[in-house]
Structure 1
């Protein structure tokens, strides 16, 4: 009995660590199995925290989140997702760090990031402001989720590509996109259950991959040539098609979260690593940082200090890390030390020497600095900590992007010292007496 009792005790301890919220709290625990019904098909305004049990900031937020949920009970829904356990939900909504709070308002298919304070009063105030805006929009006839082509729970039917015997080869086999294709039968009950999940996933995947991964559907009872070619026998059958490769069976779950997570994996597996750009002007910095959740900037020593070989070594390390973290879809930039002094000053780069590195969240105007070595190991540790919400961050100096100078691109060559002007002194007549007198007077 004692080993059994010990096992039960250990299990309960593990559960107590993982479970931030219980049935007695007013925070609704959300999972892939209830998220669609509770949130996406609801008319309520939702504030949802995506957390990880090991995250210290999440643990600190918990009591305030509970108090806010109690205060907002019956007015605004407050939920929580263990995104460490339910990775598909976190991936579906682009959660990269913890805790992340999302607002599910009028358009449940496009939640917004919550940018307010994390104290319980600030959360309540923020929720009430959001609620007033939602009510005002409804009174004026605005609706973020209406439309005849929308499914309950989000997604547009137009984003699911209707495939036929006539267009399949050209669109799927000859195109550059990766495809997830559902072969269905109109009378199939499982196919009908999958339809809203497939529709919602198709819209999210199209947006998040910029059309590089597409979802299609084929009525296999009508278009039997293609279905027969791939041996479709049961419904629904989902297959993955990559250009120039044999199709493979989809083995994942059938919720929109599962489908989106698999699609994003396919996208990142086949996507080229992000381009490493030199900061030559304001537009390059602004576009890269605004288009990415994080932009990673390397400040490399002057070319006279390293030569071309040394600089290329640093750039190689950055490109290897860009490849390693390409699933994050971050932006990657570099600049020569001293070329953008205002940027360095706003980040406090000067005190650390070169090479140096900063990661900037332009939306929040926050940044973090690499404290370890400028190496694969050091940079990996730095970025890994940031990606799970553990990194130490600060506010960008002034709260805005600093002035950026326009500079010439590096030509890939070693640096050259400036040529000093030579003077010919052969014709200069120096008077020894005058010179000696001068020395005496001095």
Structure 2
């Protein structure tokens, strides 16, 4: 977890004014960014190490960075300023979101409920788009997840025809795969990607979503109660392999009685003769 440190001195008036704002920000950021206070007159080595020349001084320590690497704080001194700056840094340093396959109600609910948006892609049947093809789609989705990780969206995918209730609720089904929708679970509404399921098509769609300027309006989920998400059937996750057609049993033609066909030919000849 990232840490934001406030270096102060007991005699510093600006430090005393900042203290209540800092305390409120610490409460709001709990679980995301830790906020701490250091008395620089006691911990003089730390103050020297980080080049503290005045008070108060705020330093940001990104999660995962070694050797105590710190960044200078460049935000304001109100609670909202501190929180906004810290959250922006937090989102920039978190790993990209995973792209989950929808295999159960729990997967959909845990990733979509309460989220601003969850991006769901409907990928072709494995027989129509084998493992290399599917992995390329998923790779592209992960790339977009990285690009838009600061938005806090969740990313999911499902094979075509695997979840008919979900497809019906967002007006997708029967054709047009791959496809993509964005669901706002708080509003119980969704919007469909109208362009091509390609890097450029999805990029334009996500830019609209991020800016809040959609060319198509949000539509209520069909057949879904308020505050709920579409019903999901339990299914086995993809094994990562190519698809195979079911084996067809060979038919021994020697077991087939051809007499009826011969009789039919004879009858047709008689009709022609008439």
Task: Report if the CA contact (8 A) 2:9-2:56 is conserved.
Answer: yes
Measured in 1, the distance between the counterparts of 2:160 and 2:77 equals 50
Query: Which ranges of structure 1 fall in alignment gaps of 5 or more residues?
Result: 1-176
Question: 2:182 matched to 1:359?
Answer: yes
1:436 to 2:262 alignment: yes
1:139-162 deviations in whole A, cap 9, x for unaligned? xxxxxxxxxxxxxxxxxxxxxxxx
* Runs of at least 5 residues in structure 2 that lack an aligned partner in the other structure: 269-274
Report 1:268-347 matches (<5 A). 268-347=91-170
Partner of 1:267: 90
SS state of the match for residue 180, structure 2? strand
Per the TM alignment, residue 342 of structure 1 is displaced from its structure 2 partner at its CA by 0.9
Secondary structure in 2 aligned to 1:411? coil
Match of 2:238 among 395, 407, 410: 410
- Determine which structure has greater relative contact order: mean sequence separation of CA pairs < 8 Å that are 6+ residues apart, divided by chain length: 2
SS in 1 for 2:29: helix
Identify the match of residue 35 of structure 2 among 197, 202, 215. Answer: 215
Measured on the aligned residues, the alpha-carbon RMSD in Å equals: 2.0
How does the TM-score come out when normalised to structure 1?
Answer: 0.56
CA contact (8 A) 2:164 2:173 kept: no
Shift of residue 367 of structure 1? 0.5
Compared with structure 1, are the counterparts of its residues 331 and 341 closer, same or farther at alpha carbon in structure 2 (3 Å cutoff)?
A: same
Partner of 1:233: 53
Contact 2:122–2:178 (CA under 8 A) maintained in structure 1: yes
Question: 2 CA distance for matches of 1:353 and 1:185?
Answer: 65
In 1, the alpha carbon distance for the partners of 2:142 and 2:258 equals: 64
Aligned match of 1:93: none
| Per-residue CA distance 1:386-406 (angstroms, 9 max, x = gap) | 223222210001233232111
Q: 1:386 is matched with which residue?
A: 209
Q: Aligned in 2, Cα 1:351/1:193: closer, same or farther, shift over 3 Å?
A: farther
Structure-1 residue corresponding to 2:248: 420
The alignment's TM-score, normalised by the length of structure 2, stands at 0.88
User: Structure 1's 429 and 306: CA in aligned 2 closer, same or farther, altered over 3 A?
Assistant: closer
Which stretch of structure 1 is more off in the superposition, 399-408 or 334-343?
A: 399-408
Aligned residues, how many?
A: 260
